[in-house]
Structure 1
Amino acid sequence: MNIWKSKESMLLIFSSGITFIGNGMHFIAVSWLIYQYTGNPMSVALLVILTTLPTLLTFPFTGVIADRFDRKKIVISMDVLRCVFVLIIPLMYLLNEMNIYVIYLLTILISISNNFFYPAFSGVVKSVVQERLFLKVISANSSMLQLGTIVGAGVAGLLIANYSIMIVFLIDGATFLVSALILLNVKYIHNKPESIKGSKLVIDYFLKDFLSGLKYIFNKKVLVYLFLIGILPAAIIQIINSLLSVYTNQSLGLGVDAYGMLDAIFAIGALFIGVLMTFVNNVNPQRLITFSFFIMGIGFLIISIAGSFFIAAIGLFLLGVSILMESACRKSLIMQLVDENYIGRVESFNWAIYSVIAPLCTIAATLFNGQIGTTSLFFYISVILIAISIFSVPFFNKNDLQINSETAMDIE
Structure 2
Amino acid sequence: MPPSSAPCPPDSLLQHRAYVAFWCARTASSFGFQMLAVAVGWQIYAITGRAFDLGLIGLVQFLPSVLLLLPAGHMADQFDRRRIVLFGQIVEWVAIVLLATLTLLHAVNEVGILLLIFTIAVAKAFESPSMQSMVPALVPPSLLPRAMAVNGSAMQAASIVGPALGGLLYVAGPGVVYAVSAVLYLIAATLVSRLRYEQTPPKREPATLKTLFAGVHFIRERKDVLGVISLDLFAVLLGGATALLPIFAKDVLHTGPWGLGLLRAAPAVGALLMSVWLARHSMERNVGKIMFAAVAGFGVATLIFALSKVIWLSLLALFALGAFDMVSMVIRGSLVQLDTPDAMRGRVSAVNAIFINTSNQLGEFESGMVAAWLGAVGSAVLGGIGTLAVVGLWMWMFPTLRRRQRLHVAPSTQEGEAQAQTV
Match of 2:420? none
The residue aligned with 2:304 is 302
For residue 252 of structure 1, what is the aligned residue in structure 2? Answer: 253
The SS at the match of 1:2 is: helix
Distance 1:401 1:219, change over 3 A: farther
State the Cα distance separating 1:352 from its structure 2 match: 1.8
Summarize deviations over 1:49-80 as a string: whole Å, max 9, x none.
11111123212210011110001111111111
Query: So what's the TM-score if we normalise by structure 1?
Result: 0.91
CA contact (8 A) 2:267 2:322 kept: yes
Of 301-310 and 27-36, more deviation after overlay is shown by 301-310
What is the aligned partner in structure 2 of residue 193 from structure 1?
A: 202
In the alignment, what sits opposite 2:271?
Answer: 270
SS at match of 1:254: coil
How far has the Cα of 1:25 moved from its partner?
0.3
1:169 and 2:178 correspond = yes
Residue 39 (1) aligns with residue 49 (2): yes
Superposed displacement of residue 401, structure 1? 8.2
Alignment length (residue pairs): 400
1:243 matched residue in structure 2: 244
Identify the residue that residue 48 of structure 1 maps to in structure 2.
Answer: 58
Match of residue 87, structure 2, among 57, 77, 96: 77
Could you tell me which runs of 5 or more consecutive residues in structure 2 were left unpaired when the two chains were aligned: 1-10, 416-423
Q: Deviations over 1:284-330 (max 9, x none)?
A: 43232112112112211211221211111111111010111111111
Cα distance 1:157–1:195, how it changes in 2: closer, same or farther (>3 A)? closer
Contact 1:23–1:149, Cα closer than 8 Å, also in 2: no
Q: Distance in 1 between matches of 2:105 and 2:75?
A: 36
Residue 230 of structure 1 corresponds to which residue in structure 2?
232
1:115, distance to aligned residue in structure 2 (A):
0.9
User: Structure 1: how far apart are the matches of 2:50 and 2:25?
Assistant: 35
Aligned residue number for residue 40 of structure 2: 30
Query: Is 1:55–1:115's contact at 8 Å kept on the other side of the alignment?
Result: yes
CA distance in 2: counterparts of 1:214 and 1:391, whole angstroms:
22
Aligned to 1:88: 98
Match of 1:19 in 2: 29
Cα 1:394–1:4 change in 2 (3 A) is farther
**Contact persistence 2:238–2:387 (CA under 8 A):** no
Find the counterpart in structure 1 of residue 5 from structure 2.
Answer: none
Asked if structure 1 preserves the Cα contact closer than 8 Å seen for 2:34 and 2:162, the reply is yes
The answer to whether 1:140 aligns with 2:150 is yes
1:324 aligns to what?
326
Equivalent of 1:154, from 164, 170, 177?
Answer: 164
- Please tell me whether the aligned partners of residues 300 and 378 of structure 1 are also in contact (alpha carbons under 8 angstroms): yes
Which position in structure 1 is the counterpart of 2:379? 377
Instruction: Return 395-404 or 142-151, whichever deviates more.
Output: 395-404
TM-score relative to the length of structure 2: 0.89
CA distance in 2, matches of 1:233, 1:5: 36
- 2:368 is matched with 366
Deviations 1:167-191 (A, max 9, x none): 1101111111111222233321232
Q: Which runs of 5+ in 1 are unaligned?
A: 200-204
| SS of residue paired to 1:195 | coil
Amino acid at match of 2:293: F
How far 1:124 sits from its partner (Å)? 1.3
- CA separation of 1:259/1:96 partners in 2, compared to 1, >3 Å: closer, same or farther? closer
In 1, Cα distance between equivalents of 2:297 and 2:32: 31
Taking every aligned residue pair, what percent have the same amino acid on both sides?
21
Structure 1 residues 262 and 94: CA distance shift in structure 2, 3 A: closer
CA 1:208–1:303 in 2, change beyond 3 Å: closer, same or farther? closer
Aligned-partner Cα distance in 1 for 2:371–2:315? 21
Change (3 A) 1:213 1:313: closer
| 1:202 paired residue number | none
Q: 1:402 Cα shift?
A: 11
SS in 1 for 2:177: helix
In the alignment, which of 120, 127, 138 is matched to residue 130 of structure 2? 120
The verdict on how the C-alpha distance between 1:189 and 1:39 changes in structure 2, with shifts beyond 3 A counting, is: same
Distance 1:306 1:401, change over 3 A: closer
Q: Which amino acid aligns with 1:247?
A: F
CA contact 2:137–2:197 (8 Å) conserved in 1: yes
8 A contact 2:243–2:367 mirrored in 1: no
2:421 equivalent in structure 1: none
CA contact 1:87–1:173 (8 Å) conserved in 2: yes
Question: Once the 2 structures are TM-superposed, how far is the Cα of residue 251 of structure 1 from its aligned partner?
Answer: 1.4
Could you say what secondary structure the match of 2:200 adopts? coil
2:109 equivalent to 1:107: no
